[in-house]
Structure 1
Amino acid sequence: MTLAIIPARAGSKGIKNKNLALLDGKPLLYYTFEAAKKATCIDEIVLSSDSKEYLAYAKENNIKPLLRPQELATDNARSDGLILHALTHFEGFENIILLQPTSPFRTHKHIDEAFHKFQSENANSLMSVKLADKELLKAFILDENGDLKGICNNDFPFTPRQALPEVFMSNGAIYIVKTELFKKYKSFLIPKSLPYIMNEKESLDINTKEDLEKANQILKEKQ
C-alpha cells in the first residue's frame, strides 16, 4: 500500500496563492492531483496544507484534505515534519510518495515508472533528479578558518571537466521512500537511494511568475 502526500502551504512569496495560480486555465494543484489519481501505484492521496482554500479544492477533487499545524507551515519548516504529521493520520502504508504541486509536467507515467524502478531494484528510497552542470564540483567554500577548500574535495577544482562525475539536482517532482525507514531516518537520502532522471522541461519547478509564464508558453506550443 502506498500513500501519496501532496504538500501545499499558503503564503508563497514568489507568486501569491501560488498553488491555485492558473496554468493554461487550470489551478497549479490540478496537474499534480490528476497525475496522482491516474498513477496505478498509489492507493491513497492526501493534501497537507494550512490553507482552507487549498483543502476545499482538494475535497472537490476527491483528494483527502489534511489540515497542517501552523508550526509545520512556516518558511523554514522542513518536509519531514509534515510527512510525519500525515503518517499519524494515515497508517498502514508501506511506502510514501511525496509529490510537490509545483511540478506540473510530472505525469502519472513518471510516477509509475519511478515506482517501478524503486520496487524492481529493491531501493529504500528514490528521488527524481535532473542533470546539473559539472562545474559545480569545481567550486570552493570557506572552512571554519576562512580558508578556501573544494566544495566536495580539494582535487575536483583542478580536475578536467570531462573527468568529473555526473552531477544531479533534485527537481522536486517525485520522492519515494519506505515508510518505516523514513520514520527512522526522517530523510529521503538514506542507504540505497536511487535516482529517477527527468529532462529539463519535465523538471520545471514553478516558484516565480517567470516560471509560470514559461510553463504557459510550453503548453501553448504543444497545442
Structure 2
Amino acid sequence: MIAIIPARGGSKGLPGKNIKDLLGKPMIAYTIEAAKASKHITDIIISTDCEEIYRIAIEHGARETFLRPAELATDEAQAIDNYIYTIDRLEKDFSMNIESFVVLQPTSPLRSTEDIDKSIEVYKNSNARSVISYTEEHHPLTWHKYIKEDGSLENIFEDKLDNRQKFRMSHYPTGAVYVFNTQLIRSRNYFDESTKAYIMPRERSVDIDTEEDFRYAEFLLGRNRDE
C-alpha cells in the first residue's frame, strides 16, 4: 500500500510548518520515518507544490515523482481533488495499480509506526472502505457555544445541565492516519457505512496548525526522548 503525504507550501497559521525545524530535523521527516518503518507501506509519495518541501522529502526517503499543480495547493482547493489527481498521475506515469492508500499528514509528527500499521490492519481485516484515526474528547460537545460579537453566548446544541460523567464519550478525528479505498475517494466520499475508527491516545494525536501546537509537540517529543 502506498502512503501519500500532503504538504502544500502555503500555510497561514504557521508559515513553513511542514519543514520547520522540530528538535533538529524538519517536521515532515517524522512522518516519512514512521512510514518507512511500516511493514505495510511500499512507497511514500510526497504531494506538494513546493520545490523545497519536495527536495527535503526526497532526501528523507520519499519517492521521486512530481509536484502538484498550483491550483491544487490553494486555500480553496479540496484535499480529495488532490488525492484523485495524485492517484491518476501515479497510475498513468508509474504504472501503479492503486486499490487503496494511506494519507499521513506531516502535521502529526507524534503519530507512530504502530498507529499506521494498526490502522491498515483494521482496514485489511474488515470490510471497511475507510479507516480514520480518532481520539477521545474530554468534554461533552453540548458544552460548546458560539460567541457573538458582543460577547454573549449562542447555543449550538440544546442546553442540558448535567455532570460530565453523565454524557456519552465522543471522539474527534486526529488527522494522523487515513486509510482509503480508491473507489470511495473517486466517488468523492471519505466515509460510508463501513468506515471504521482507529483510536489513538491524545498524546500522539497533536495536529500542528499554530505556534502553540508546535511548542506542545516539541515538548512532548523532547519529554519522550528524555524518558
Q: TM-score, normalised by structure 1?
A: 0.86
Count the aligned residue pairs. 211
Match of 1:145 in 2: none
Match of 2:123 in 1: 118
Question: Could you tell me how far 1:163 is from its partner in structure 2?
Answer: 4.6
Query: After superposition, what is the alpha-carbon deviation per residue over 1:85-135, rounded to whole angstroms, capped at 9, x for unaligned?
Result: 101112211211110000001111110011111211221111001111452
What secondary structure sits across from 1:15 in the alignment? coil
The question of whether the paired residues in 2 share the 8 Å contact of 1:95 and 1:179 is answered with yes
Match of 1:6 in 2: 5
Counterpart residue identity of residue 72, structure 1: L
* Structure 1: tracts of 5 or more residues without a match: 142-147
**Do the aligned partners of residues 175 and 159 (structure 1) sit closer, same or farther apart at CA in structure 2, a change above 3 Å counting?**
farther
What secondary structure sits across from 2:80 in the alignment? helix
RMSD across aligned positions (CA): 2.0
Separation in 2, partners of 1:173, 1:203: 7
* Structure 2: tracts of 5 or more residues without a match: 92-96, 147-153
Match of 2:151 in 1: none
Question: Could you tell me how far 1:191 is from its partner in structure 2?
Answer: 2.0
Separation in 2, partners of 1:56, 1:16: 18
Match of 2:44 in 1: 45
The question of whether the paired residues in 1 share the 8 Å contact of 2:40 and 2:117 is answered with yes
Separation in 2, partners of 1:149, 1:38: 46
The question of whether the paired residues in 2 share the 8 Å contact of 1:134 and 1:165 is answered with no
Match of 1:209 in 2: 211
Match of 2:81 in 1: 81
Match of 1:132 in 2: 137
Match of 1:144 in 2: none
What is the correspondence of 1:55-204 to structure 2 with a 5 Å cutoff?
A: 55-64=54-63, 65-91=65-91, 92-137=97-142, 151=157, 157-158=159-160, 160=162, 161-184=164-187, 186-204=188-206
The question of whether the paired residues in 1 share the 8 Å contact of 2:133 and 2:176 is answered with yes
**Do the aligned partners of residues 11 and 159 (structure 1) sit closer, same or farther apart at CA in structure 2, a change above 3 Å counting?**
same
Separation in 1, partners of 2:11, 2:104: 17
Counterpart residue identity of residue 57, structure 1: I
